[in-house]
Chains A and B, each alone.
Chain A
């Protein structure tokens, strides 16, 4: 497989994951504005912060008006990382990797692009927002379905998974950092009612709300939620889960190429480090410090993969 092709598949699924993440954050933010009377603007600000877009947003906008933020995230030309662009980038990558992806996968990506572009041609009215988010989530789910059902489990498939889980771990860590660092500056807030709203939001924006309730009915604690989102290997968005998958997929790659792999060794090292941690020890040593360290390791893993498999040179 060409290095360029591996890169294309990797980025196709990074962009797709990122787009889904934005859709989910908009859904959560919108729900928040419907159910809470205060803190609405703060909520949109923290969503922008979790996406690393707050500074750029503030440079062009006065306040965190919901309609403005939603438009900024979905389609505003001033925001290069808007959802429409992400889907466009995903499709561009699919076009350059046509020789390595199945026809079903290509058509799912292309259809996703057509539908999302149609839906985002004009600013989305609030009345249409739930249906639009639903459409985006369905379309991206079809792409995942096509990948799972039709792709050979070869190097191409493994690159798609590696891109997917690196992006997912990155967005989970950013979200946790924003929520904890920005909104819970002091440990004394833990257990207060504001705190509960915030944690509910965090669970919703990571699609963890029902899963968490099944496991811990009636008990929402900062500790429990941190444990769940960082260390629980059953939850498909936790950092530990992502790294479990990353080690699997990088191992498949190394085995199929019959070579030693630096990126596999690094992923295994990070994965092993989760086993030695508890949520209590992470909170005690500082969640923010833990997350900053993790984000940097995760970025480093991405560039190791990029170099090892000759994405660009």
Chain B
């Protein structure tokens, strides 16, 4: 009987022995008593609950706070693997910034015939108010998260770029804190690269793009939509760790041509605003006029060099799913190099031949909405019912340009610690990247998300995904 080829497991070879990256960890694990580990897993959950690392889920009655499930088995990457990965990430992020600079200025890439102009002109994520403006230091995406999946020993591919307001970095940091708390002996014996400098680096990175109007030490603030936002914990966490104020729209007013926050001693100007609010809500004078979360007039002051907004408005165009399929060209166009990291093969359903192929092969493919996110509005062909397939077929025929399709990837697995013992589950990896005028800084590791349901490929926390601590180890 023919069966699907097994997925690449990052910890164990087919004969059940550990791969090099996991050798030391696996030896330790084999010596542990499983009752003790089960207790540790409960302790970890208790630790998250006590420290309030929760996200809000809104049901019909009242808001409920949930924990993102945490698995105690780490994701481990060797320094050799990481070196290659980080070179690829750096190249891609550099290209994304060059691309943004270009499309909001001369649009050389369009002139060169490498990107259809409709993809910019007809795209909601393209912010025409950014045309002709260069943000301080030439940085567009101060914070980027690159979603990677692994399909083999040497194959990391980019599933998605997050160039707007990538989230999850607080989980990366708290997962590590939790692991060091639970298993200190592991960190004494295995050299795991540190991640705890991220907030300090974030602050330094934001300080280097202060606007011309800034005098002295830049004042940094984090803008949150408020306590009811599902990522509020992360906003407060980052502000706290950076020593920055956490502000909401109603704490802010424009005073003497500066964006200023209401303090106990009057209004104080903000130099750099790390906003965790979508473009649409940022400035009701420019974008959605019904937004009560934003700051009326901030955009004009931004263009006048009175404040820096991170990430810059209009960066969403770079992680648009329709643009994604052009990323290999974009990397090559701006860096003059072959892309180090591969893209997933992508069919643009806007193209007639591609649409025909996609309709013929729907049960094998993953179809994504061009503007969707968070795992919503997505079809996973092999897991879909006949009914779901038929529904999606109709949607595709009605609005082909709204969709792209990709082959179902054999995502790598890493075991999770389940009641019955080790159980392989699919994972992805989101490394976090900080961009400043003079350098690109990638935190070693990132956030590993894991689909806890057996066989599931969907790792999003809103769809039942969990997380793991992610290690880059110095093995030589």
Which residue numbers of A lie inside 8 Å of B, CB to CB?
1-6, 92, 95-96, 98-99, 103, 106-107, 110-111, 114, 155, 257, 259, 309-310, 313
Contacts and interface: CB of A to CB of B under 8 A. Distances in A.
A107 B53 CA distance: 11
Contacts of A107: 50-52
Contacts of A1: 263-264
B265 A259 contact: yes
B157 interface: no
A155 B264 CA distance: 9
Interface string B233-250: 000110110001111100
Contact of B247 (A2, A155, A310): A2
B240 A3 contact: no
A299 B446 CA distance: 51
A106 B52 contact: yes
10 contacts: A2-B251, A4-B248, A4-B251, A5-B245, A95-B232, A99-B239, A99-B244, A106-B52, A110-B50, A310-B262
Nearest to A258: B265
- Chain B interface mostly helix, strand, loop or mixed? mixed
B266 interface: yes
A114 B246 CA distance: 25
B117 interface: no
B263 A2 contact: yes
Most A CB within 10 A of own CB, among B236, B245, B265: B265
Nearest to B244: A99
A5 B263 CA distance: 8
Nearest to B242: A99
A92 B227 contact: yes
Interface of B: 49-52, 227, 232, 236-237, 239-240, 244-248, 251, 261-266
A56 B251 CA distance: 35
A98 B246 contact: yes
Contacts of B251: 2-4
B219 to A, nearest CB: 12
Instruction: Please give me the 5 A-B residue pairs with the lowest Cβ-Cβ distance, nearest first.
Output: A98-B236, A309-B264, A99-B240, A110-B52, A3-B262
A92 B49 CA distance: 15
Nearest to B262: A3
Contacts of B262: 2-4, 310, 313
A257 B50 CA distance: 35
Given A2-B247, A3-B264, A98-B239, 13 more contacts: A1-B263, A2-B262, A2-B263, A92-B227, A96-B246, A98-B240, A99-B245, A99-B246, A107-B50, A110-B51, A114-B50, A155-B264, A259-B265
A162 B305 CA distance: 40
A95 B227 contact: yes
Nearest to A4: B251
Contacts of B236: 95-96, 98-99
A103 B241 CA distance: 11
B263 A3 contact: yes
A221 B1 CA distance: 95
B52 A2 contact: no
Given A98-B236, A99-B236, A114-B49, A310 B227 contact: no
B470 to A, nearest CB: 23
Contacts of B261: 2
Contacts of B266: 310
Given A96-B227, A98-B237, A99-B245, A257 B51 contact: no
Contact of A2 (B49, B51, B237, B264): B264
B242 to A, nearest CB: 9
A138 to B, nearest CB: 16
Contacts of B239: 98-99
B235 to A, nearest CB: 9
A1 to B, nearest CB: 5
A110 B236 CA distance: 15
A259 B266 CA distance: 12
A160 to B, nearest CB: 13
A205 B237 CA distance: 39
Nearest to B265: A257
B33 to A, nearest CB: 29
B50 A111 contact: yes
Contacts of B49: 114
Contacts of B237: 98
A110 B262 CA distance: 27
A99 B247 CA distance: 10
A310 B253 CA distance: 13
A114 to B, nearest CB: 7
Most B CB within 10 A of own CB, among A2, A6, A313: A2
A4 B262 CA distance: 8
Given A1-B263, A3-B262, A95 B244 contact: no
A313 B227 CA distance: 19
Contacts of A3: 251, 262-264
B417 to A, nearest CB: 25
